[in-house]
A and B are shown apart, each in its own frame.
Chain A
Amino acid sequence: ILNVEQSPQSLHVQEGDSTNFTCSFPSSNFYALHWYRWETAKSPEALFVMTLNGDEKKKGRISATLNTKEGYSYLYIKGSQPEDSATYLCALRDSSYKLIFGSGTRLLVRP
């Protein structure tokens, strides 16, 4: 059974700070790792899909890495802006394509 843990649960940073959070998983028996960004009252927005150990993806100021051997993925935000405030969800995709989610990291960026 796949299990996904995210830390920290919440994070408050100042505008301009860089930050990162972690998605950890005890088993590498999955097919892909997804990161989503979810703002309240909006659809969760797909950020990255990663499949291979050592994968690195980047979209603007946001990047992510995957280490399947040690069981974690990091999401980095460089120079946080207030509009980055959201909940960031990590999910593992299993063989049947269903997603198993972590509990999310809630980020608040203060102006």
Chain B
Amino acid sequence: EPEVTQTPSHQVTQMGQEVILRCVPISNHLYFYWYRQILGQKVEFLVSFYNNEISEKSEIFDDQFSVERPDGSNFTLKIRSTKLEDSAMYFCASRGLAGELGYETQYFGPGTRLLVL
């Protein structure tokens, strides 16, 4: 069964460093998302992406964040200069053509746990 994959599963970085989180969405999907969950808090929306551009972004998604679909298969989230408060589990999701649960469903990857020291 097709699935969303994410790498790395864990990343530890120093404050101020750049990180790139990678996702491979389901191949025939057209809509892509990043969410994150800070420990003890709700999963929260960061950004949605369609047709090679950002559709919507949350207040969290400031100039330090960027997304890219560089090669038609990967979908990346870059944080330019990480802060302590960026420590969280980052989830990628994709949505597209009808599947078992239809066009509506977002399929999630297993997440990347980012720890900023």
Q: List residues of chain A with CB under 8 Å of any chain B CB.
A: 4, 32, 34, 36, 41-44, 46, 48-49, 51, 89, 91, 93, 96-104
Q: List residues of chain B with CB under 8 Å of any chain A CB.
A: 3-4, 9, 31, 33, 35, 41-45, 48, 55-56, 91, 95, 101-102, 104-111
**B42 and A99 contact, CB distance less than 8 A:** no
Q: Which residues of B contact A103 (CB under 8 A)?
A: 41-42
> Distance (Å) between the CB of A62 and the closest chain B CB?
14
| 10 A–B contacts, CB within 8 A, in A order | A34-B106, A43-B108, A46-B101, A48-B101, A49-B104, A91-B43, A96-B56, A97-B31, A100-B45, A103-B41
Q: Which residue of A lies closest to B56 (CB)?
A: A96
**B107 and A46 contact, CB distance less than 8 A:** yes
> Distance (Å) between the CB of A68 and the closest chain B CB?
16
With A46-B101, A49-B102 already in contact, 10 other A-B pairs whose C-beta atoms are closer than 8 Å? A34-B104, A36-B108, A42-B110, A43-B111, A44-B91, A44-B108, A97-B31, A97-B95, A98-B56, A102-B42
Q: Which residues of A contact B109 (CB under 8 A)?
A: 43
CA distance A34 to B108 in the complex (A): 13
CA distance A71 to B82 in the complex (A): 39
> Distance (Å) between the CB of A39 and the closest chain B CB?
10
CA distance A98 to B111 in the complex (A): 17
**B48 and A97 contact, CB distance less than 8 A:** yes
